[in-house]
Every structure is written in structure tokens, then in C-alpha cells.
Amino acid sequence: MSQVAILIDGGYFIKRLPALRPGIDMSDPVAVCTTIKRMITAHLDRINKIERRSHARSLLYRSFYYDARPYLDRGHLPISRKAIDYAKSDVARFQLALHDMLRKTANMAVRLGEVRRDPASLWELKPSVLTALVKGEREFPSLEDADFRPTFRQKAVDMRIGLDIASLTLKRQVGTIVLIAGDSDFVPAAKLARREGVKFHLDPLWRSVEPGLFEHIDGLYSGLPRPRKREPEA
């Protein structure tokens, strides 16, 4: 029986989840972990239905969750210069707890990259604030700490996704790969998988994709229900 691997871009998933489940508590790792499990089951059920199989759970080879370790160093806020300990932040605590829960989930592998900050540019203005400044609706002396966001950059996450797609394909470990992601960085790996006979499905979590991507995938659908309200395109 051909098995299925489900690869989840964690950063993208967390960003999209509030739009797909407006009532979810994004500070609750249990709720988020439960949603991930349900999404995986929905994908397996769909593949099961398409291929007329039974016992969807037996199809799963492994799920992979890709994310970056939370930033745990100390720093200072941009305006007040107040000290901040990122290790004690709500974001860090949530990520650490979620990663730990996922590690304890059956048939789940957690692949973590790193988060780094450029010492030359630790903070950047939020887009809405920058727009207000350009339009003259705000003045620079009015800026506050809340108008900025830290310049965290994920490292090696996309690389891990590409390497696992190649490994799963070349080792003939699966017959189907489902990738939950929102960009086109996966295209070279998807081409390799399809050339080797692996079916490649994409779940963009109800975001539109570039028309050119359809020639590189075998299916496009989501494991979570469609949002009730139509969202503006990014």
C-alpha cells in the first residue's frame, strides 16, 4: 500500500489559522495541536476517498512540522529602551509548548530551523504605521514601541522541507506527498517528486496560488474548512 507524507510549513500555518478558525485561542497550544491533527486526518480521508481505500490512518507514513525555534535572547524596545527577555514572552512560551506536544504526537517529526536578528536592523516599522507616516497622518515624534516589530528571520526551514521531499522521493518511502505551504519555493522539489512518480498535492489553506504552479502539482485542496468571509488578496 502506497503511503502518504504530510509536510506542514508551521510558520505559514500559524499565520493562516486565525482566518480559518476565527474562534480559536492562538495562545493555547493544545487547541492548535488538535487542529493540526484534524487537518492531517482530513487529508488522509480525502486521499482515501479518491483512491477508494479504507482505514485512513494506516496510510500515513509520517507528518512533518517545520518551524523555527523561538528567539530566546534578551534585547531592548526601540523607543523606551526598556529591557525585554524574549524567552519569557507569550510567543516563545507558546512555540516551545506546541513543539513539545507535536514531538509527542504519533508519527510526527518536528524539524526546526533557527531564528536570527540582524544587529544592524533589530526593529522595523509595521506596514500600517509606515503608510501613515508617508501619508502625513503620523509624525515621527509620535512613534511608540508598539509601532515597531522585531526583525526575526527564519533560517534553514525551507531547506529542510526541500531536503525531506527529495529524501522521501528518492528512497521510495511514500507514494503521495501533501505540502501545506503558501509560496512557490517548493517547485524544484515538487518537480523531482513528480518525475520520480510521487503524487504531489498542495494545500495553501484557501489562499489563491499562481496559475503557473498548477503544472507542478497533482492536486490542490485544503484540510480545513473554507473561511466564511472572503479575504482580500495579500
**Which residue, among 223, 232, 161, 221, has the nearest Cα to 192 in the 3D structure?**
161
> How would you classify the pairing of strands 123-125 and 74-76?
unpaired
DSSP state, 144?
Answer: -
The reported pLDDT for the residue numbered 117 is: 86
Contact 5, 163 (CB under 8 A): no
The reported pLDDT for the residue numbered 234 is: 45
CA-CA distance, 36 to 51, in Å (whole number)?
A: 23
The reported pLDDT for the residue numbered 230 is: 56
HSE at residue 16, side-chain half, CA atoms within 13 A, is 28
Mean pLDDT, contiguous 10-residue spans, the chain (234 residues)? 91 95 94 97 89 63 96 94 94 97 97 88 93 95 95 88 96 96 89 96 93 89 83 48
The reported pLDDT for the residue numbered 31 is: 97
The reported pLDDT for the residue numbered 50 is: 77
**What are the backbone angles phi and psi of residue 7, rounded to the nearest 5°?**
-110, 125
- List of domains in the chain: 4-115+154-220 (3.40.50.1010)
Look up residue 234 and give its three cell numbers. Answer: 495579500
CA dihedral 80, 143, 126, 90 (to 10 degrees): 30
